[in-house]
Structure 1
Amino acid sequence: MRSIVIVTIKEWNIKNYFELKAKYEKEFQFFLFTSVEELTYEAIEKIKPKYIFFPHWSWIIPKTIYEKYECVVFHMTDLPFGRGGSPLQNLIVNEIYDTKISAIRVNNELDSGDIYLKEDLNIAIGSAEEIFINASNITFQKIIPKFLKKDLKATPQEGEVTIFKRRKPFQSNLLEQDNLTINKVYDFVRMLDAEGYPKAFIPFNSLKIEFSEVHKKGDKVIGRFEVIENE
């Protein structure tokens, strides 16, 4: 029986992993790695998987692993447009709401690997976490099953390369944003509203006000705020 490895830390991916496993366990043997420390050449060698999938993974994948095994990462842009960090936030800042999930083979250069396939993804509404959950559903319910049903061939990326820069926590300051409108405030707050991301904030003396759970209601943006110590 062929083996499949999923490497992820996000709870929504872990949930989808178990649903995928239940559906295909008669055809494949599944293994789940949920930490950087687990991902070693020795551990992978014992399994000898057909594929290693990395949904929402931000750490370096050892060269010894991706040179020997077929490693697949998923990037939330229509590659080669939007290589680099913080793809969701960079897309929304640039008011690009229709994008792709690109499934690519890992190589030695960030987001430059050959492409197996792409699936549509709309990011016009919803918090970052809601979008990540939707992207996870597409990845586990549409993309990975295509790998399991037939051998997909990856082809080199074509087109002009555009690079995104990874965002820094200080860039979440709402007061530093230019030409704010109701729509831009809505986009800015929601694009940072996910586990592990620095929320949109306004500094206030030794405190800061963080914003989340926003939605638009007429000409207003309504949501949640918390006042915390400014680190």
Structure 2
Amino acid sequence: MKDLKVIFMGTPDFSVNILNSLIYHTNVIGVVTKPDKLVGRKQILTEPAVKKVALENNINVIQPTKIREEYQSIIDLNPDVIITCAYGQFLPKEVLDYPKYGCINVHASLLPKLRGGAPIHRAIIDGYTTTGITIMHMGEKMDNGDIISQKSIEIEDTDNVGILHNKLSLLGAELLIETLPSIINGQANRIVQNEDEVTFGYNISREDEHIDFNKTKMEVFNKIRGLNPWPVAHAILADEEIKIYEAIIGEENYNEKLNGEICKLYKDGIGIKVSDGEIILKIIKPSGSKKMSVKDYFNGFKEKNTLIGKVFK
């Protein structure tokens, strides 16, 4: 496949393994990614992850602000196929219809489940036990194109979004290379998605990051790990935002306590009442402090028992 002229479109870290695999197996003639953006409190102008890889490999980089208006330079490269993965913009019909072998997308879910921009986060938050990768023909709407191939992976209780992200990125690179020959020889599947089975993995909002302790212990547990290490779940304790990175499900039932109430202090955790039992917070980040274990957090209190009875909002 080294003579296959590929344009790759992607932006975040998730796309890097896919791009590296394409560079090794095909002829990547261009990379399209979002413009550099200002990041962090110091507003440092930062390149997308795939741009760094492209430049390291002397590959032409195109960064349109609005691809629906700025696509001619892509067509001018005359690609045989366009492959996208977490690019972040809808492609115009002129681009979708141009390549000989079409436009192919690598999506981090088992479509039609979890269409959208945050399928990995949502798979964990929504309690899925299985997810995977879909290689698909691109359509004009969000993740609605015909399926070519899929490969599944179990979601372990020890997975957070960072761990699952890395597993799926590697799986996506592997499945894409396995699938490309069928696309080139015209034997690729076209399995129409069942619209009755569609669910969505919408982007995470600031509101989504807040923990509601009125939920069940499993729902709270899934939200915490589904937002770790980014963008991180949080709750309010005594008017202070506490970011919560890790928790485990406890065994206690505090039937007469308030949901969100600190009910028990463990050597390395804080037992919180939820609707059907207990969640134990393990790794947190108080406002203005660094990420720390609850054991270290306790070291900041002369009388840590004063935490008992306080309520997370």
Take 2:166 and 2:108, find their aligned partners in 1: how far apart are those partners? Answer: 12
Aligned with 1:156 (options 167, 192, 205): 192
**CA deviations over 1:29-66 (Å, ceiling 9, x no partner):** 44322325345422221222222222223322223211
Aligned match of 1:44: 74
Aligned residues: 220
Paired residues of 1:85 and 1:165 also in contact (CA < 8 A): yes
Cα distance change of structure 1 residues 211 and 63 upon mapping to structure 2, 3 Å threshold: farther
Q: What's the offset of the Cα at 1:8?
A: 1.5
Cα distance change of structure 1 residues 43 and 201 upon mapping to structure 2, 3 Å threshold: same
Paired residues of 1:4 and 1:52 also in contact (CA < 8 A): yes
Aligned match of 1:98: 130
Greater relative contact order: 1 or 2 (C-alpha under 8 angstroms, separation 6 or more)? 1
Aligned match of 1:10: 12
Aligned with 1:171 (options 202, 208, 219): 208
Take 1:18 and 1:32, find their aligned partners in 2: how far apart are those partners? Answer: 11
**CA deviations over 1:3-28 (Å, ceiling 9, x no partner):** 11221222343255234413x25xx3
Q: What's the offset of the Cα at 1:93?
A: 3.2
Take 1:85 and 1:14, find their aligned partners in 2: how far apart are those partners? Answer: 17
Take 2:119 and 2:214, find their aligned partners in 1: how far apart are those partners? Answer: 20
Aligned with 2:285 (options 200, 225, 228): 225
| Letter of the 2:228 counterpart | D
SS at match of 1:164: coil
| Letter of the 2:221 counterpart | Y
5 Å-filtered alignment, 1:40-189, equals 40-69=70-99, 70-124=102-156, 125-141=158-174, 143-151=175-183, 152-158=188-194, 160-164=196-200, 166=202, 167-174=204-211, 176-181=212-217, 183-189=218-224
Aligned with 2:235 (options 180, 202, 213): 202
Q: What's the offset of the Cα at 1:206?
A: 5.7
SS at match of 1:110: coil
RMSD, aligned α-carbons = 2.9
Structure 2 alignment gaps of length 5 or more? 36-62, 252-279, 290-313
| TM-score normalised by the chain length of structure 1 | 0.79
**CA deviations over 1:137-162 (Å, ceiling 9, x no partner):** 01112x21123333223231236233
Kindly name which structure, 1 or 2, has the bigger radius of gyration based on alpha carbons.
Answer: 2
Cα distance change of structure 1 residues 228 and 59 upon mapping to structure 2, 3 Å threshold: farther
Paired residues of 1:203 and 1:209 also in contact (CA < 8 A): yes
| Letter of the 1:199 counterpart | V
| TM-score normalised by the chain length of structure 2 | 0.60
SS at match of 2:149: strand
| Letter of the 2:220 counterpart | V
Paired residues of 2:21 and 2:177 also in contact (CA < 8 A): no
Cα distance change of structure 1 residues 35 and 137 upon mapping to structure 2, 3 Å threshold: same
Structure 1 alignment gaps of length 5 or more? none
Cα distance change of structure 1 residues 221 and 211 upon mapping to structure 2, 3 Å threshold: closer
Paired residues of 2:137 and 2:145 also in contact (CA < 8 A): yes
SS at match of 1:163: coil
